[in-house]
Homo-oligomer: A and B are copies of this chain.
Amino acid sequence: MASIKDIAARTGLSLATISRVFNDSPKVSAKTRQKVLKVAAELHYVPNIGAAALRSGKSRVIGVLIPEINNHFFGEVVTGIEKKMKNWGYNIIISQTHESSDLELEMLESFMKLNVDGIIISTTKEPTDPTIFKKLKDKKVPVVFFDRLPPVHSHSSVILDDHEGGQIATQHLIDQGCKHIVHIAGDKNVSIFQQRQRGFEDALRLNNHPFDSHQIFELTTDTKSNKKLIQKLLTDHPDIDGFFAHGDYYALYVMDILKSLNVDIPNKIKIVGFGNTDFTDHLQPSLTTVDQNCHQMGQLTAETLMKHIESDEIIHSKQVLTPKLVVRDSSN
């Protein structure tokens, strides 16, 4: 395992010079640079960035912590982050919490041990003990949140305007002639889901639509029973003519049930989802949904983190992206 020392011996130069070559220092002559590079190639030299990190205090690694890797939205955001970070010469390490705040804590500590230069995180549904975030702040580890934030924090964040998303989705259904719309709501603990619901309610209000509590349909964690409950809802209220689900998967549930009841979509009932998940375009009928602009969110998050890494100034920013309605057959 060749090191900088071996190259120094082979070239007759000092450690410092070799180091400078690999750090693209301007203060080394072209001739020596060439010589060093040549010898380095011969020895199959691979820089030990761990050692460099130890000495310099900068690991050039940033940690990304998300609830679930296997989720279209998070996957796309991560890809956006990755792209930007690689340009800046940073490695990213991805970990998932599986929605467990214990795991979240554990992984964040793991990040600290690995001496990451920064952390990007979208929190779990169950709120995490905020002390860890304070700890990170004390240690001056730059942190940026995206999409899901803890209820109280003092870091930068990049989020989607979920309220707007709920609103445009609902407004679209109203514009298409729906009179009796039901919202399939998400977990109460997650602020983005609350926002989508508020967007829904506000849209109804703005259009002077009546509103009754059954129009907020709350989900359980059991997917099978959800199905049954939705089914019951439909028989209880046969004049329902629109659904806005807080997530594409739940829109799929509804569609599934409606199809089995031979309901005409979109003529009798129209459906709008949320997320623009990849399968939505392949359904029959294809699903109208709200696009979250994942990629852009990833890039913006990465940029924000970089700003924090580069300057020690503690300027917290709150950036809000606007969602976009993607109209497809299920509502048209």
B59 touches A70 (CB 8 A): no
The residue that A279 contacts in the complex, of B44, B48, B78, B252, with Cβ under 8 A, is B252
> Inside 8 A of A70's CB, which chain B residues have their CB?
69-70, 72, 75-76, 79
Which of A49, A68, A255: most chain B Cβ within 10 A? A49
Separation of A54 and B69 alpha carbons in the complex (Å): 30
Interface string of A65-103 (1 = CB under 8 A from B): 000111010011011001000000001111110100000
In the complex formed, the residue of B with least CB distance to A256 is B284
Given known pairs A50-B114, A69-B75, A75-B69, the reply for A44 and B135 (CB within 8 Å) is yes
Contact B253 A46 (CB under 8 A): no
A31 within 8 A of B: no
A112 to B96 alpha-carbon distance, docked (Å): 23
Other-chain residue from B54, B94, B98, B256 in contact with A282 (beta carbon distance below 8 A):
B256
Q: Which residues of chain B are within 8 angstroms of A112 by Cβ–Cβ distance?
A: 46
Whether B91 lies near A94 (C-beta < 8 A) is no
Encoded as 1 (CB less than 8 Å from any B CB) or 0, chain A from 39 to 61 comes to: 00000101111110110000101
Interface residues of A (CB under 8 A from B): 1, 44, 46-51, 53-54, 59, 61, 68-70, 72, 75-76, 78-79, 82, 91-96, 98, 109-110, 112-115, 135, 138-139, 249, 252-253, 255-256, 259-260, 279, 282-284
In the A-B complex, the 6 residue pairs with the smallest Cβ-Cβ separation, listed nearest first, are: A70-B75, A93-B93, A259-B284, A94-B94, A49-B113, A50-B50
